[in-house]
Structures are given as C-alpha cells and as structure tokens.
Homo-oligomer: A and B are copies of this chain.
C-alpha cells in the first residue's frame, strides 16, 4: 500500500511551535499552514475554479453531508469524482458529514450504530454510519477524508441546554440529553470507536488519507483522553474538532494550545472550522497546519469585507461615494485588477462605492467580488504567516496585520521601541 499523503516539515519557527510544511497528495501539493476555502455543494459559491486557484488556494473543502443528499455520491462518482464533477484538479478534503447532521438536521436517532436523520432536500430518511460516511467519501474521491465523529452540543452550558430542549421538543424519539458531562464522555468514546470502524471500512487507502478527529470540548482532561484514543490509531493526519462552536477567542486559544501538541509531531494537524485571523495566527503558533472556514465566503456574500486593518460592512452609507479599493494592501481582482490582466481603465481598482452599489442593487457580482477579495485576504494571511515562521518575524507580521495581531498572544515586540 502506497501512502496517500506525504507531509514534509520544511521549517520550524524559532520561538513558537509553528512550522512551515508541504503536503503531497495524489492531486498535487499544498503548502502549510494552509487555508482551505469551503465548497459546500461542489462549488465555492459564485467562483469559477480558476478564480479560486488565483486567490492562492491550493486545496478546497467539500461537504459530504450536502453532496450525500444532492446529487448523491454515486452520481458524483460516475461524473469523475468530486475533482471531475466540480472541475478542480488540485487537492480536495471532504468532511464526514457529521457536523452538519448535528447542526442542521432533524435527528431521529443517534446511537452506537450511527445517526438517522431526515434529508432537508426531500424529507427522506438517511442513515449515516461510520461505514457509510467512509463509503460516501470513497465515492466522492477527495484526497483527504475525515472520520465520522459524534459531535456533542457546544460546551457552553446554556447553548447545550437550548440544543437539548430543541431536540427533545421536536423529536420525541431523539435521545434525551440529561447530563451534559455524561454526554461529552459518551461522544468522546463513541468518536474513538467510530474512528476504528472508519479505518476498517476505508476502501481506497492508497489514494485517500483518512484523518481522525480529537473531541473533548473545553475540558482539557477530556482533550487528553480523546487525543490518546484517536492517536492510538496510526493515520496520515489528525484534526481538532469541537472548537469555535460559539466560545470566545481566549477559550479557543486555551483549547488549541493544549490540544495541538498532543497530536503527532510528524503528521499534519487540522483545526476544523476555524476561523478569524487572530484564531488562525494563535493556532499556527500552537502547531496547527491546516484550516478551513466559511467566513471569507459567507461573510463576503453578506457584504462584509475583511481588510488588513479591520472589516468593512459595505452596505453602510459611508461607502456610497468612496473611491478607495477594499484594501490598499490587497492584490485581489477587485483591489488590483492590473495584476490579473483585467481591462480596467488605467488599471484602477474597483471602488468601495461600486461594491456597495452591487450589493444595494442585488447584483451577484457583489458577493462574487467580495468573496474573492476575502479569500485572497486569507491566502495573503497564510503567505505572511509562513514568512513570519521562516523569519521568526512575528513582530513585523503583527504590524502588517493589525486585524490578526491579537493572535500573537502578547503585543508584538517592537525592536525599534
């Protein structure tokens, strides 16, 4: 059996646990720390694949849950797998579908066998077991696939209570959540048992790398136990799940700083669903290599632009006559069309006023351009993070990225001060 994935650490930071590396897959390589745009339904919303690639993205994420319901993994497989289906020949990662099942759906039953829920597409009953989650991902054909985990409600007791009430009120057949602590233990142990079943069910081990997921919520002892259970199975990579499910920045950092070093040093570490720039910077410094988040695209569709110095809400009237680009520091197609061989007069950037006009007029190009800009913003962040690691230049990094500086943990030292 050939290894489906090779991870090489090219450089380690002199002052933190951060490292620069490269992951090789059957569909090409990507540099780490890496940010993966989310292509939920076989498309990064509104963006042709070459535009996604032009942002610097080297790997994209697909959501198993959505593709399972529509058009179905068998259809995707017939049409060339997810790579051929969506026209992306670089690396792809698919999640297991579990997270969406727990957060979006009518769950009718959840037990050791798996989870049964109703499809939001056609109301049909769908069963997701560890074996089926892997079968579906084998059919989709991504380069990295994720084990099915049991995702308990948020560690925030109030949020957990609300979630429990919602489930019990709506689904009499659903398991009642009586004891949050007991539920977390159950989920953690089940996640480990399911990982074992996922690893056994995996039918394309030489082509697709299966990652396990460490759970355990906000309790660091549980994180220890989960990491030891999950890492007991030798896998090409490991992920930290259950983070950024509603808790604040300090809490995210506390859990990630504790958990990342528990994962094998020689394997890529993936922090699922995180996050803002400061979260990513803090996690990189804790030793994390891979990230995904819907923020750049989801917020972009809602007229929210990330910039080096903070965010812009483009519907705000203050931008109605603003001739400045979204971010002077950015080189995306909106901010720096000349770099992308656009035919704009004098290579001028598009204005904030134009972007605002597109949103006010309900034009698709608003979400498209702002998503592109935000994705490029996050890829520029990753490029600069890799540079900061190589040069151990976090103080300079913090000055270039005020919006991310909180992730440095302490105020960046200024050698000139």
Instruction: Report which A residues bind B (CB closer than 8 A).
Output: 27, 41-43, 45-51, 53, 66, 70-71, 75, 78-80, 83-90, 320-321, 323, 333, 337, 340-346, 348, 350-351, 353-354, 357-358, 360-361, 363-365, 367-369
Contacts and interface: CB of A to CB of B under 8 A. Distances in A.
16 contacts: A41-B361, A43-B364, A43-B365, A46-B364, A46-B368, A48-B51, A49-B342, A49-B344, A70-B361, A71-B320, A75-B320, A79-B354, A80-B323, A87-B342, A88-B344, A364-B367
A346 to B, nearest CB: 8
Contact of A365 (B47, B66, B351): B47
Contacts of A363: 41-43, 45
A365 B367 CA distance: 12
Contacts of A364: 43, 45-46, 364, 367-368
B360 A70 contact: yes
A261 to B, nearest CB: 35
Nearest to A81: B345
Interface centre among A84, A87, A364 (most CB of B within 10 A): A87
A48 B368 contact: yes
Contacts of A321: 75, 78-79
A348 B84 contact: yes
Given A75-B357, A78-B321, 12 more contacts: A43-B358, A46-B365, A48-B342, A49-B342, A71-B353, A71-B357, A78-B323, A80-B323, A84-B348, A87-B337, A88-B344, A364-B367
A85 B353 CA distance: 9
A265 B79 CA distance: 53
Contact of A79 (B48, B49, B50, B323): B323
A389 to B, nearest CB: 27
Given A71-B320, A333-B48, A357 B88 contact: no
Most buried by B among A27, A66, A364: A364
A336 to B, nearest CB: 11
A259 to B, nearest CB: 34
Given A75-B321, A345-B80, A48 B87 contact: no
Nearest to A53: B343
Name the residue in A85, A320, A369 with the highest tally of chain B Cβ atoms < 10 Å from its Cβ. Answer: A85
Contacts of A45: 363-365
A344 B71 contact: no
Nearest to A361: B41
Contacts of A46: 46, 364-365, 368
Contact of A70 (B78, B357, B367, B369): B357
Closest 8 pairs between A and B when the two form their complex, measured CB to CB:
A46-B364, A87-B344, A89-B345, A43-B365, A41-B361, A89-B343, A71-B357, A83-B345
Contacts of A85: 351, 354, 357
A341 to B, nearest CB: 7
A323 B46 CA distance: 22
A372 to B, nearest CB: 8
A368 B87 CA distance: 14
Contacts of A357: 41-42, 70-71, 75, 85
A84 B367 contact: no
